[in-house]
Copies of this chain bind each other. A is one copy, B any other.
Amino acid sequence: MTGVDILGYSAGAITSLTFLPQVIKTWKEKSAKDISLLMFVIAAVNEVMWIVYGALLNNWVIILTNAIVLAMSLTMIYLKFRYK
């Protein structure tokens, strides 16, 4: 594995966790007024596209990374409706 590969995998790992602080904050504070529902709907649809793309290329890194972000996006959509 080259240094470029390691950078790519590290970046991918961090990408998959990007939404986590927002999920934790909204969950704890029970307030989602300032959150854009559209952003997380676009993100969820987009991640389904990436998962299909990963499946067509048989690339599990793309599939798994985007499955994690999809789960967090759906959680944010749920929290937005619950705590709007």
Q: In chain A between 1 and 24, which residues have their CB closer than 8 angstroms to a CB of chain B?
A: 4, 7-8, 10-11, 14-15, 17-22, 24
Q: What's the number of copies of this chain in the assembled complex?
A: 2
Question: Can you sample 22 A-B contacts with CB below 8 Å?
Answer: A4-B53, A7-B49, A7-B52, A8-B53, A10-B49, A11-B49, A11-B53, A14-B42, A14-B46, A15-B50, A17-B42, A20-B39, A21-B36, A21-B39, A22-B35, A22-B36, A24-B36, A25-B36, A29-B34, A31-B33, A33-B33, A34-B35
Question: Interface residues, chain A, CB within 8 Å of chain B?
Answer: 4, 7-8, 10-11, 14-15, 17-22, 24-26, 29, 31-36, 38-39, 42-43, 45-46, 49-50, 52-53, 56-57
